[in-house]
C-alpha cells in the first residue's frame, strides 16, 4: 500500500457505509444529491479518486488496482471494515479491482453505467491519442469531446448540469486525465468475474447512455447471480445528475432490502 495516496472525500450520515465512486474525469461532487438523500439512513462516503477533484494527482499510470488500493487505504483510515461499494463507469472498473483485491470488504456491490469488458485495441489506441492531445492542449480536449455525448440527446444544452459536468472536466488536471486514460486502457477484462459475484448487486443504467449502452448493463445483470437491474428513463451516461431522485430511490430501495 506504500504507493497509495491519501484521498480527499466527503462523508455524511450514519449507518451501513455506502461508498460511491465517481467516473472519469469527474469527482465525488457528482453524488451530491444521492449523498444528501441517503445520509438519513446510511453513512455515505464519496471519495475523489487519485487525479480527480481535490485528491493528489501524481505522475504515472493510474492502474485500476492502484486506484482501488487508495480506496482501501481510505476505508482503513475511516475504520470501515465492510461497505456497500458502488462505482459509476470508471468507478465501476475500480469497483471490480476492489472486488479482486478484497471481496470480504463488500456488503453489496453496485455498477452504474459501467461495463465489465476491457478496451478493444482501437479503444486503447484512442485513449493514448487523447492522452497526447491533453498533454498538448489541456483538459478542454476531453470536455469538448465528451460533453456532447454525456447526456440523453433530448437534454437541452442550457440545463445547468451540462455546465456542471463541463466545469468538473475542466477542473480535472491534465496529469490526472492522462494517468487515468492510460490506466483504463490497461485494465483487465472482468467478464469472467461476474458469475462469482455472489452478493447483492445493483446495476443501474440510463436508457439513453451514448457512452456505455444499456445493453452492457443488461448483460452484466444476466451474468451476476444476485443482480437487480434498474433502467433509468430519459437519462444518458450521467443518471445521477440527469435523474437524481430516481437514482437515489433506486439505491435506497436496494440498500433497504439488504439483510441486516
Site map 24..63 versus ligand MLT, x via CB under 6 A: x---------------------------------------
Q: How far is the CB of 182 from ligand MLT (least distance, A)?
A: 12
Q: How far is the CB of 259 from ligand MLT (least distance, A)?
A: 31
Q: How far is the CB of 114 from ligand MLT (least distance, A)?
A: 8
Q: How far apart are CA 167 and CA 164, in angstroms?
A: 5
Q: How far apart are CA 110 and CA 160, in angstroms?
A: 27
Residue at grid coordinates 440527469: 242
Can you tell me whether residue 42 is helix, strand or coil? coil
| C-alpha distances out from residue 63 to 83, 94, 95, Å | 22, 9, 12
Q: How far is the CB of 175 from ligand MLT (least distance, A)?
A: 17
Q: Residues 5, 7, 18, 23: which binds ligand MLT (CB under 6 A)?
A: 23
Site for ligand MLT in 211-230 (CB under 6 A): 211
90 is a contact residue toward ligand MLT (CB under 6 A): yes
Q: How far is the CB of 116 from ligand MLT (least distance, A)?
A: 12
Q: Give the nearer residue to ligand MLT in terms of CB position, either 21 or 38.
A: 21
8-state DSSP, 80 = -
Sheet of strand 43-47: strand arrangement: 9-12, 43-47, 17-21, 83-88, 106-112, 201-206, 227-232
Q: Residues 27, 46, 89, 139: which binds ligand MLT (CB under 6 A)?
A: 89
Site map 192..211 versus ligand MLT, x via CB under 6 A: -------------------x
Instruction: Find the residue with minimal CB distance to ligand MLT.
Output: 23
Q: Give the nearer residue to ligand MLT in terms of CB position, either 16 or 112.
A: 112
142 is a contact residue toward ligand MLT (CB under 6 A): no
| C-alpha distances out from residue 32 to 23, 49, 65, 231, Å | 14, 16, 25, 21
Burial track 4-43 (b if 16+ CB lie within 10 A, e otherwise) = bbebbbbbebeebbbbbbbbbbbbbbbbbebbebbbeebb
Q: How far is the CB of 211 from ligand MLT (least distance, A)?
A: 5
Record the cell numbers describing residue 230, joined without a space: 434498474
Burial track 53-73 (b if 16+ CB lie within 10 A, e otherwise) = bebebeeeebbbbbbbbbbbe
Site map 164..193 versus ligand MLT, x via CB under 6 A: --------------------x---------
> Interface with ligand MLT by CB under 6 A: which residues?
23-24, 89-90, 184, 211
Amino acid at each position: 500500500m506504500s504507493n497509495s495516496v491519501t484521498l480527499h472525500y466527503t462523508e455524511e450520515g450514519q449507518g451501513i457505509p455506502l461508498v460511491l465512486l465517481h467516473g472519469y474525469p469527474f469527482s465525488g461532487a457528482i453524488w451530491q444529491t444521492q449523498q444528501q438523500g441517503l445520509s438519513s439512513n446510511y453513512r455515505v462516503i464519496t471519495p475523489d479518486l487519485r487525479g480527480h477533484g481535490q485528491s493528489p494527482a501524481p505522475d504515472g499510470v493510474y492502474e485500476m488496482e492502484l486506484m482501488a488500493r487508495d480506496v482501501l487505504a481510505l476505508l482503513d483510515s475511516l475504520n470501515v471494515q465492510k461497505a456497500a461499494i458502488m462505482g459509476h463507469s470508471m468507478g465501476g472498473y475500480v469497483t471490480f479491482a476492489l472486488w479482486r483485491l478484497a471481496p470480504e470488504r463488500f456488503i453489496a456491490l453496485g455498477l452504474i453505467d459501467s461495463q465489465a469488458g476491457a478496451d478493444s485495441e482501437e479503444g486503447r489506441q484512442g485513449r493514448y491519442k487523447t492522452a497526447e492531445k491533453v498533454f498538448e492542449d489541456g483538459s478542454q480536449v476531453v470536455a469538448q469531446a465528451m460533453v456532447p455525448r454525456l447526456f440523453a440527446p433530448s437534454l437541452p444544452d442550457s440545463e445547468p448540469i451540462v455546465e456542471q459536468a463541463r466545469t468538473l472536466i475542466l477542473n480535472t488536471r491534465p496529469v490526472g486525465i492522462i494517468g487515468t486514460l492510460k490506466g483504463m486502457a490497461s485494465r483487465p477484462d472482468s467478464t469472467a468475474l461476474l458469475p462469482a459475484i455472489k452478493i447483492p448487486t445493483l446495476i443501474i443504467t440510463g436508457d439513453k447512455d451514448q457512452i456505455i449502452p444499456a445493453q452492457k448493463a443488461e448483460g452484466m445483470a444476466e451474468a451476476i447471480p444476485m443482480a437487480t437491474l434498474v433502467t433509468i428513463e430519459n437519462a444518458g451516461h450521467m443518471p445521477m445528475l440527469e435523474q437524481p431522485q430516481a437514482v437515489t430511490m433506486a439505491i435506497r430501495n436496494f440498500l433497504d432490502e439488504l439483510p441486516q
